[in-house]
A and B are shown apart, each in its own frame.
Chain A
Amino acid sequence: MTSGIQIPRTELDPARKRREAEGDEPPKMQIRDLHAWFGPTHAVRGISLDIPSRSAVAIIGPSGCGKSTFLRCLNRMHEVVPDARVEGTVRLEEHDIYSADVNPVRVRRRVGMVFQKPNPFPTMSIRENVLAGLRLQHVSLRNPDELAEKALRQAALWDEVSDILDRSGSSLSGGQQQRLCIARALALEPEVLLMDEPASALDPIATQKIEELIWELKDQYTIVIVTHNMQQAARVSDRTAFFMMGQLVEYDETDTIFMNPRVKLTEDYITGRFG
């Protein structure tokens, strides 16, 4: 751990204090001193932050700063990779999702995820893709068509696919595939939706659709979005966290981060002086 740059730690989060003082909802997720490793690589180095309920949190930072790894720790997807290790506490409401008696499979049903590259199941139709999560869990569906329509409407895809539901999911365009993946995650009615650079493989128009979607979804869901694109973070999120070299540099209201950051490093990154 010989980093050349000294990263100041933000111990207390003023916005959170403000919210709590106002008697808001308790945070949906609380992360305390989270560390994550890939084999010998220490990718996330002691991150603590709160994710407020029903809002969008954006995580920005240069490549390799640990933001995707951090995201994957929030629904225990990090451990899917061999040699991966996690330490610290991640609370989903009152449960520590890393305590020994927790089944990671159960966690992932409450904390959904959308990946960078659209990954619909190639053997399934559009309808089956949307219902895949429920079927994988052997939930018996009384009205599958209604459920599929609801999720597809939420993902703003229904109008484009309502008459081709039996076609393969992979026959859609990239942007449509990504919204199909969002519908697939929403069909499980998760409380938190993690999005790992959901628009980075898409063209500007598809990106705009995804952003509008995030804007609408955050009234109902808690969204954590990792993005390379600072404008995107500014457009869609309520709060923004700036990561660097596995550490949290600054976490505040998005407006504050972009207009009036407290830490010099954040300002340098936002203004494009590095990264």
Chain B
Amino acid sequence: MHPPLSPLVAPQRPNSNLTEFTSARDIERAFRAICLLALLLPLLLLLVLLVDAVVDASSRLSWQFLSSFPSRHPEQAGILAALAGTGALMVLTAALAIPIGVGAALYLEEYASENRLTSLIEINISNLAGVPSIIYGLLGLEVFVRALAMGRSLLAGAATLALLVLPMVIMASREALRTVPLSIREASYALGADRWQTLRRVVLPMCLPGILTGIILALARAIGETAPLITIGALTYVAFLPDSLMSGFTALPIQIFNWISRPQAGFHANAAAGIVVLLFMMLLLNGIAIWLRMRLQRRIYW
């Protein structure tokens, strides 16, 4: 026997009517629409930019474009020197920024004691990540090109870009190091491992995906940088491949900038084609970063 239901005389409370929520639902819907719009707008703009660039570039994108040096005639000009310059710049920048950046992060996270000096350094590193890139160009011009007499060389350019991405590499590496919990480090110490062994055998393998992703994303930013390279005086018309650290160079963004500022329409098509190549390289780098992260993270179960 069930007890009888109590009579339906609900006490008078505000909002006691269960069906009366239409106005709340309208607000919910409107908010959702606004958020969707906020997402679609940038995507649409990006799409327009991409389509516009690809349409303009379609007449010039070819093997000949990739394998030719620049020329006075737009239909003969290519980006070989710029591609080689960008490639060499990236390799050198990575070679400079990775050891210094990861080393600095390791020191700050693993060895430095927490005091005013280290927190001052920390704040400064975060601030440096937001400094406009042209400032780094000026610094590179003064320090590398003039004071260290590197000239307008590949090395000076790579050093300047390395300086630019260093804060990003340091911050990403520190973030990754912080994800390794103390309990795992203690497990290693308790097995009679010292600090260095713990770092190398336990901590670094665990945060490698994070560090690698940070490095690649930083490089993807460096690849598109124009201002610092122009500031240090990178060449704009290069009809040779860089053959040493000290040789002059140009890079893709500079070549594009140079072509856009020409009056002839043919060069504008070249610039569009250069933009498509540059975008493709950035997408490739980002793709590699995602792939690496997924591949390495599959090995870490929690």
Residues of A at the B interface (CB closer than 8 Å) are: 75, 77, 80, 82, 105-106, 108-109, 112-113, 115, 117, 119-123, 132-133, 135-138, 168, 170-171, 181, 184-185, 188
Asked if A188 and B191 sit within 8 Å, CB to CB, the answer is yes
Asked if B301 and A108 sit within 8 Å, CB to CB, the answer is no
CA–CA, A77 and B202, complex, Å: 18
Given A115-B183, A171-B301, also A105-B192 (CB < 8 A): yes
Asked if B192 and A185 sit within 8 Å, CB to CB, the answer is no
Interface membership of B197, Cβ < 8 A? yes
CA–CA, A226 and B140, complex, Å: 59
The 4 closest A-B pairs by CB, nearest first: A109-B192, A133-B191, A136-B193, A113-B190
B96 to chain A, nearest CB (A): 28
CA–CA, A159 and B187, complex, Å: 24
CB neighbours of A170 from chain B (8 A) = 300-302
Point out the residue from A108, A132, A171 that lies within 8 Å of B189, measured CB to CB.
A108
B282 to chain A, nearest CB (A): 30
Asked if A115 and B186 sit within 8 Å, CB to CB, the answer is yes
CA–CA, A115 and B193, complex, Å: 16
Point out the residue from B114, B191, B300 that lies within 8 Å of A108, measured CB to CB.
B191
Interface membership of B299, Cβ < 8 A? yes
Asked if A82 and B186 sit within 8 Å, CB to CB, the answer is no
CB neighbours of B206 from chain A (8 A) = 122-123
CA–CA, A82 and B189, complex, Å: 14
Point out the residue from A75, A105, A115, A138 that lies within 8 Å of B187, measured CB to CB.
A115
CB neighbours of A185 from chain B (8 A) = 190-191
Asked if B191 and A123 sit within 8 Å, CB to CB, the answer is no
B111 to chain A, nearest CB (A): 12
- Kindly name the residue among B190, B205, B301 whose own CB sees the greatest number of chain A CB atoms within 10 A: B190
CA–CA, A5 and B193, complex, Å: 41
Question: Which residues of chain B in 159-216 are interfacial with respect to chain A, using CB atoms and an 8 Å cutoff?
Answer: 181, 183-194, 197-198, 201-202, 205-206
- Kindly name the residue among B114, B183, B193, B205 whose own CB sees the greatest number of chain A CB atoms within 10 A: B193
CB neighbours of B197 from chain A (8 A) = 136-138
CA–CA, A122 and B206, complex, Å: 7
A122 to chain B, nearest CB (A): 5
Q: Secondary structure of the B side of the interface?
A: helix
CA–CA, A138 and B181, complex, Å: 24
Given A119-B184, A168-B299, A168-B301, also A77-B191 (CB < 8 A): no
CB neighbours of B189 from chain A (8 A) = 77, 80, 108
Interface string of B31-52 (1 = CB under 8 A from A): 0000000000000000000000
Asked if A188 and B192 sit within 8 Å, CB to CB, the answer is yes
Residue of A nearest to B195 (CB): A105
CA–CA, A137 and B190, complex, Å: 12
CB neighbours of B191 from chain A (8 A) = 108-109, 112, 132-133, 136-137, 184-185, 188
Interface membership of B64, Cβ < 8 A? no
CB neighbours of A168 from chain B (8 A) = 299-301
CA–CA, A108 and B192, complex, Å: 5
- Kindly name the residue among B181, B183, B301 whose own CB sees the greatest number of chain A CB atoms within 10 A: B301
Asked if A77 and B201 sit within 8 Å, CB to CB, the answer is no
CA–CA, A137 and B183, complex, Å: 19
B296 to chain A, nearest CB (A): 9
Asked if B193 and A122 sit within 8 Å, CB to CB, the answer is no
Interface membership of B113, Cβ < 8 A? yes
Residue of B nearest to A138 (CB): B197
Asked if A136 and B192 sit within 8 Å, CB to CB, the answer is yes
A166 to chain B, nearest CB (A): 12
CA–CA, A184 and B193, complex, Å: 13
Asked if A82 and B113 sit within 8 Å, CB to CB, the answer is yes
CB neighbours of A188 from chain B (8 A) = 191-192
Given A123-B205, A168-B301, also A80-B186 (CB < 8 A): yes
Residue of B nearest to A107 (CB): B192
Question: Which residues of chain B in 90-142 are interfacial with respect to chain A, using CB atoms and an 8 Å cutoff?
Answer: 113-114
A-B contact sample (18 more), CB < 8 A, given A80-B185, A122-B301:
A75-B190, A77-B186, A77-B190, A109-B191, A113-B190, A117-B183, A119-B181, A121-B202, A123-B299, A132-B191, A136-B198, A137-B191, A137-B192, A138-B197, A168-B299, A170-B300, A170-B301, A188-B192
